[in-house]
Amino acid sequence: MPNDVRGPAGGSRPVRPAGTGRADTGPFVSRRAPGTRRTRGAGLSVDQRGRRNKWGLTFLVTLLVFVVVRLVVVQGVDGAAYAAEAEQDRLRNYTVAALRGQVLDRDGNPLAYTVDASRVVADPSIVKDPRRAALALTTLLDVPVPELTERLSRDGRYVVLAARVPPETADAVEELGLAGIILEDDPERLYPAGAVGGQIVGFVGREGEGLAGVERTFEDQLSGTDGRRIVEVGSGGHPIPSGIDEVTEATDGHDVTLTIDQDLQFVTDQRLGEACADGHTSQASAVVLDVKTAEVVAMGSCPGYDPGKYSETDPDLLGNPVVSDVFEPGSVMKAVTLAAAVEEGKATPDRVLSVNGHIDAGDRVVTDAHDHAPVDWTVTGILAKSSNVGTIMLAREIGDAKLEEYLRAFGVGRTTGIELPGESRGILEDSADWTESRAANVPIGQGVSVTTLQMASIYQALANGGVRVEPRIVRSVTTPGGRVTPTPEPKSTRVVSRSTADALAHMLEAVVGPGGTAPLAQIEGFRVAGKTGTAQRANPETGSYAGGGYITTFVGFAPADDPQYVVAVDLERPTSSAEGGQVAAPVFADLMRAALTGDGVVPSGTARPEFDLTG
């Protein structure tokens, strides 16, 4: 072996003896007294130098053995693991997005659907020339060159360049063949009807999850299940033609079919918008129910919003006031009080009461709309004239506990179970806690709060022969394979007898007739039954009724002789003292007329009866 230096006993190369005047390597010469010896290297002896060389040789041999063993381990024992790791580094795991199911109206018209789109992303570590790539992409993605260049120059391995890119643009990006530029599924949710029914349908967030309305309630059914794609890519981030390409297909979401009629919904939203534009109405809400099934045919509030532009909308407007906002309904609640009186045998439509213009209620005095001398009114007249005093007189004959029982049976103080998020139960205190003034206010619709949907549900029961059906807004759910699953039948509860319901229908028709408070609710050719309401509005600035204006309402059904639809309307009017019969009744008439004619309901074949309002 080269450089192997050994002593005389080891043979090999001899060591030059000392005293010859030079060393083996170089000009360094030992100048010592006779009889001494010296070799190169800090005065080491030949034996010392030999030992040092032996240790060096041993180290080199050991190092060589270690390297060989390590190579054997790496290439043999760990070879498969390293190969697998290298392969994993080339694999890319992509989400195959499921297409979200459609939301359809009752006739199959789409209110929400999803289209294919892509997200353009980049791996900046692979992009060699960010500015050049930005110049190639700027026109296609409609993103400025400086912004793209900055994103492509970032540290890290993932950056989004553009979202919801249409298929034709995605194809053009792919054709560029830019290293490090990747396409991912990014479906786009569209709402073709815009703001029509927007509060019902709701919207999805940036991550595609339902955040409001039906989109939220039916998130699990609509969303589907994403798939996966594993692709082996080369140095540029593009798939290797002969490499791994494994796909687990996505399962698309189910379609949800609503009970909504898109045409009637359009009319409803438009009419409510007109109401909100009158200079006094800050909010208007309405709901149309099918009497027999309690299906919601239309539902809306003003102001509404376009689900496709929810991010541009005031967050306070992104709910659904028809099911979430509560208000004191006023005199529309008198129908419940009188229904309880008739059912309990305390009243008949023709019973006559002497009604004063005011009545004591604990520490307060309740009056009719205008104080008056005693008048002999029939129970029908009390309802038609909307007498507070006459209603309170009948309520006292029923008793607080019994009245509360009927209110709750009609759905006051509890949710309806509608398939929409954020539903309020309303406000109804236990009768045991009512003060004398509260006991006088509740029968006339003050001191109790309801939603617009609850108000409509009360009149659905009266129009349906006394049977209350829990309202529904979803008809069915359809799988991607076409299997249709109808929603469960809603719960039905008899609240009052048919004879009581018929008696109330007769009295409510008098409200719209001559001498009643709502002649503006009449519809030519159809008999109409309903009730006005004008309740004080709580002023949020003072915490009292002072300066709060009024909530005006009208709820009714038609045709009165064969009820098909219930329409409930409420208008919040902070700066007006107009009554429900003046402003809410005309909105009711327009919506009911659209519902009846749109469904081809034949005009009433019987004449409106005569009504005895006074004794």
Phi-psi region of 216 (alpha: psi -120 to 50; beta: other; left: phi over 0): alpha
What are the residue numbers of the active site? 331
- How many residues are given for the chain? 615
Top pLDDT among 590 and 604 is at: 590
- pLDDT over 90, % of the chain: 73
Q: Please check the confidence at residue 117 and state whether its pLDDT lies above 60.
A: yes
Residue 353, pLDDT score:
97
Residue 538, pLDDT score:
82
Per residue in 265-275, pLDDT tens?
A: 999 999 999 99
DSSP letter, residue 5? -
Residue 546, pLDDT score:
82
- Enumerate the β-bridge partners of residue 190: 113
Q: Please check the confidence at residue 288 and state whether its pLDDT lies above 50.
A: yes
Least confident span in 183-192, 240-249, 506-515: 240-249
Residues in CB range of 246: below 8 A, 6 or more apart: 229, 230
Q: Mean of the pLDDT values across residues 467-493? A: 97
Nearest to 5 by CA among 61, 59, 52: 52
Domains and CATH numbers, the chain: 8-69 (no CATH), 91-258 (3.90.1310.10)
Question: 214, exposed or middle or buried, with CB in 10 Å at 0-12, 13-18, 19+?
Answer: buried
Residue 279, pLDDT score:
93
Q: Please check the confidence at residue 606 and state whether its pLDDT lies above 70.
A: yes
The rounded distance, in Å, linking the Cα atoms of 477 and 556 is 31
Query: pTM of whole model > 0.75?
Result: yes
Nearest to 567 by CA among 611, 605, 535, 598: 598
Contact present, 283 and 321 (Cβ < 8 Å): yes
